[in-house]
Amino acid sequence: MSPSQPTYQVTDPATGEVLKTFPFSTDAEIEAAVAGADTAFDAWRQVPIEERAAIVQRVSDLFGERAQELARLSQQEMGKAFDEGKEESEFSQAIFGYYATEGPKLAADRPIPTSSDTGGTAMVEYRPVGAVLGIMPWNFPTYQIARFAAPNLVLGNTIILKHAESVPQTALAVEQIMKDAGVPEGAYVNVFATHEQIETIIADKRVQGVSLTGSERAGAVVASLAGKYLKKCVLELGGSDPMVVLDSQDVPALAQTAWDFRVYNNGQVCNSNKRMIVMDDVYDAFVAELTEKAKAIDASAHAPMSSRRAAESINEQVQEAVSKGATLHAGGVLGEGPSAHYSPAVLTGVTPEMAAFHEELFGPVAVVYKVSSEDEAVQLANATRFGLGGSVFSADVDKAKRIARLLDSGMTNVNTPAGEAAELPFGGTKRSGFGRELGPLGFDEFCNKRLYYVAD
C-alpha cells in the first residue's frame, strides 16, 4: 500500500468524523479482478447485444428504485444535498436507459459506399475490445460511473472500476446493483486499488484501455501510463468554464440561473460556470443580484463541501486573491474545523496576477469579470488553459450563437449554462482532457471500429 495514499474511508464532511474504513485490495484480489474481467469478456461479448441491453435496462431500473438509498450514501460520504443526490441517481438511471435503448442501433454495421475502382462491399463493424479500467471521482459518485460503464457494458466490454477513496460505500452499492441486475460475474468488478496497483492494472495485457475523470495531475499520470503501455485512454479533467453575458432583459432571472448553476453540488462541478464574464452595462446589477443571493444563505444550514481539505483549498484561493486586491462581496467564510463548511461567495476584481485567475476554483465561488466589448469577452473567455465547456447569453440569439462558436471548448451552449442529457456528448479540449462520454460519441471510445471488406 502506498504510504502517501489515505485508506478508503467514509468521513462525514459535516463533522469530520471517520465512520467506516475499508482495506485496500490485495495484489491477489487485483489479479483476480483482472483475470475475472478477461474471462468474463470472452462470454459477455458472445451474448447477443439485445440481451446485454436488456440487462443494462435492469441496471437502469435499479438506479431508479434505489435513488434515495444512493442519495443518502453520497450525502454521508461527500456532503451532497439529498435532493441533488437523488437527482444524480435519476440521471444515472437515464444514462443506462439511453444506452439500453440506443446501444444496439449505435453498434449496427455501417456500410461504406465504394467507388467503381474499389468495388466490393465495405462496412464498419462496432466491436468490443475487452476489459477496460475506469478511475472515477467523488463529486458525482453514481453519474460518473454511469457514463463510463453503460456504453461499455452494452457494447460487450467488461469493467474494472476504481472509485475515489472517499466514496467506498457508493462504489459497493453500484457493484451490488450490477449483480442484482444480472451482469455476469467478472463483467463489472469494483476494486479498492492503491496507486501502484492502478499501474499494475493498466500495464496488464488483458486490459485494453483506461478512462479517468479527475484532476490535471491525475490525468497526466494516467495518460503517461497509458502511453507507456500503449493503451487507449479517455480523460475528463478540470474546467474553468466561461459564462459570457452580452446583455439581458431580465437581470434578476439571469443572475438566478447563474447562481443556481454555480453553487450546484457546492460548486464542485467540472463544467460549472466558474468565470462569469459580463458586459459593463449589465455588470453592476448582475453582481448586486449575486451578492444578495450569497448574503441570504444560512451558512449553518448550507451543505458542507466534500472534505475539510476541499474547503480549505477554496478558501486559500479566495484569500490570496483578496490579499492582492480582489473584492469579496459576500460569503467566503470557512467554518470551524474539522467540518467542511464554506459559505458560497461572490468575488470580483480578479486579475492575472492572482492564482484564482489561472486555477480552477472547485467550490461555491462566483467570480465575475467586467468587459466592454464582444472581442474582450471572447479573449477573456479563451484566456485559460482549460477547455471543457462554456456558455453565451443574449436576448439576440443569433449574436449569442455567433459568439459561442468562438469559444475554445469541447462544449458550447447558448442561453443555458450547460446542455446536459444522456444523449449529449460530454468532454473537453486543451488541458481539460480528450475523448468524449455520453451520447453516440461516448459509445465509440473503447470500440474496435473494424473495417469489413469483401472483394467482388
CA separation, residue 163 to residues 144, 145, 168, 171, 402 (Å) = 10, 9, 7, 6, 40
For residue 47 the three cell numbers come to 451474448
Quickly count: other Cβ atoms within 10 Å of residue 341's Cβ.
22
Q: Within 13 A of 144's CA, how many CA atoms are on the CB side?
A: 26
| CB distance 452 to 125 below 8 Å | yes
Candidates 165, 175, 236, 360; catalytic one: 236
**Residue 298 belongs to what H/E stretch?**
none
Candidates 165, 233, 270, 447; catalytic one: 270
Q: DSSP labels for 304-339?
A: P-S-HHHHHHHHHHHHHHHHTT-EEEE--PBPSTTS
For residue 278, what are the contacts with CB-CB under 8 A and spacing of at least 6?
Answer: 245, 286, 287, 368, 369, 370, 371
Quickly count: other Cβ atoms within 10 Å of residue 277's Cβ.
24
Q: How far apart are CA 121 and CA 87, in angstroms?
A: 47
Q: What angle do CA 202, 385, 399 make, to 5 degrees?
A: 125
Q: Which residues of 193-205 are buried (b: 16+ CB within 10 A; e: fewer)?
A: bbeebbbebbebe
Angle between helices 143-155 and 82-106 (to 10 degrees): 20
For residue 6 the three cell numbers come to 489515505
CA separation, residue 213 to residues 86, 360, 427 (Å) = 21, 15, 10
| CB distance 279 to 377 below 8 Å | yes
Is 90 assigned a catalytic role? no
Q: What angle do CA 181, 185, 189 make, to 5 degrees?
A: 90
Is 270 assigned a catalytic role? yes
Angle between helices 67-78 and 49-65 (to 10 degrees): 70
Q: How far apart are the first and last CA of the chain?
A: 59
Q: Which residues of 222-254 are buried (b: 16+ CB within 10 A; e: fewer)?
A: bbebbeeeebebbbbbbbbbbbbbbbbeebeeb
Q: What angle do CA 372, 373, 378 make, to 5 degrees?
A: 115
| CB distance 355 to 367 below 8 Å | no
Active site residues: 236, 270
